[in-house]
Amino acid sequence: MATRTIDRAVVRRLEQAVGRDGVLWRPEELLAFEYDSTIEKALPQAVVFPTSARQVAEVVRIALAAGLPVVPRGAGTGLSGGAVATLGGVVVALTRMSRILEIDAANRLAVVEPGVVNLELSKAAEPYGLYYAPDPSSQRACTLGGNVAENAGGPHCLAYGVTTNHVLGLEVVLPDGAIAWLGGRARETPGYDLRGVFVGSEGTLGIVTKIVVRLLHQPEATRTLLAIFDEVDQASEAVSAIIGRGILPSALEMMDREVIRAVEPALHVGYPMDAGAVLLIEVDGLREAVAEQAAAIRQVCLDRGAREVREAEEAEERERLWAGRKGSISALGRLAPNYYVLDGVVPRTKLPQVLRKVYEMGERYGFPIANVFHAGDGNLHPNVLFDERRPGETERVLEVGAEIMRLCVDAGGSITGEHGVGYEKRSFMEWIFSEADLAAMSKVKAAFGSSELYNPCKLFPTGKGCGEVSQRKIERLMAQVGPDAYI
């Protein structure tokens, strides 16, 4: 793709808005901002680092007046291309807006800026006996503004919900540069739930500049179990059996043989190298209830073929087990130069047959596929391992990715559970939404005053200048396999 340059007069106006040290525009300075954590790439024309809502608003007005796209960006850990400047333009990087403005322990809430790193909020709330529940695997790096944009989840969303369940209010800069509040400090506010509409809108409706989140009390007791299985099918069946017993763990995660093979040599967390799959299960709450649940979960796993169920005896052991889970995707770099992380959802009861088909697809395309995912709510993360230096390999990876997404949809699931649609999966929206649905969503976007210049080529199947090459490839692939191939 040809490098797009930016008018120096626009650069000067941006520098006047945020300061000279807050604007990057030379091509060599922009390279680190041409991608997020997926495989899509596009170079912006400028990157701007505002430090206040007023500065964000001014940057938006300058960019749109110059006819330049505006792309909000957090820490760049997103996994759907949401922060990629697909058509160039101005990336508004919010990492300098990183203050925790208030922790209100009495009302169990915090007010933060969008650049606050997720884990830092829980650390700040810990002295008050509180914490912030949504915990993406990139928790040590991802920012709360990005979490709001993508409606991020994490291992503990099974019991506690995703980002939207913990956001009370938002200060946002709208596409015309106006600053507005959606929601507030109360759990419920009268009128339309515009806060709920904004969370998960992937930067297409505006830019978050302040966030009011609710905090939870730290549980009285926590128990963490590692159930070890010889086969993925056994672990999958145990997941449904646990939920079927009426037990709702705070977390229920699965890692398969490929993931264990990457994680254990790198992090030495205690996953057995000869296991076909492990379940990492956590329960928390009142001490007596937690003890009963842990015992019941242990028995269910043994009944479903677990050869062993271990329990973390100390906090350090628990942290070590979770370090393996949260470091699992990055550890895959030991197995291949590149990996493509997918994000589909299927009913829990369909896990065994869907996973079998995922492995079959990997064999057919010639790619190893490592699975690590939120098994409790059927949120799959197949990781396709490949080498982008080999001609044609990236295109084939995208094809197998599309086929896996279609498999999830045909199993009664969805194209994303927490990573968002972004650029990566926008062509798949028509699989789960009708034309009327998409038209209604477009009207919401218009109601916020958004245009094609506001994070273009994201979320919606079409967009001016966004290209339809991937869509044509997907259509050819689906014509080959047939619409009912995976039902």
- Rounded Cα distance, 373 and 436, in Å: 32
Distance CA 411, CA 427 (A): 19
Instruction: Express each pLDDT in 160-216 by its tens digit.
Output: 999 999 999 999 999 999 999 999 999 888 899 999 999 999 999 999 999 999 999
pLDDT digit string (tens) for 91-128? 999 999 999 999 999 999 999 999 999 999 999 999 99
Q: How many C-beta atoms lie closer than 10 Å to residue 407's C-beta?
A: 25
Q: Looking at residue 189, what is its pLDDT?
A: 82
Q: Would you state the pLDDT for residue 474?
A: 46
Query: Where does CATH 3.30.43.10 sit in the chain?
Result: 8-93
What is the widest separation between alpha-carbon atoms in the chain?
A: 70
Domain with CATH 3.30.70.2190 in the chain: 221-331
Query: What is the enclosing helix (H) or strand (E) of 150?
Result: helix 144-150
Q: Which CATH architecture has domain 221-331?
A: 2-Layer Sandwich (3.30)
Cβ-contact 162, 151 below 8 angstroms: yes
pLDDT in tens, 258-313: 999 999 999 999 999 999 999 999 999 999 999 999 999 999 999 999 999 999 99
| Share above pLDDT 90 across residues of the chain, in percent, rounded to a whole number | 91
- 485 has a pLDDT exceeding 60: no
Structure confidence at residue 1 as a pLDDT band (50, 70, 90): very low
Contact present, 354 and 380 (Cβ < 8 Å)? yes
pTM for this prediction: 0.92
Q: Which CATH architecture has domain 336-481?
A: 2-Layer Sandwich (3.30)
Domain 100-217 class in CATH: alpha beta
Q: What is 306-331 written as a DSSP string? A: -SEEEE--SHHHHHHHHHHHHTHHHH
Tell the CATH topology of 8-93: 3.30.43
Model confidence pLDDT, tens digit, residues 330-384 = 999 999 999 999 999 999 999 999 999 999 999 999 999 999 999 999 999 999 9
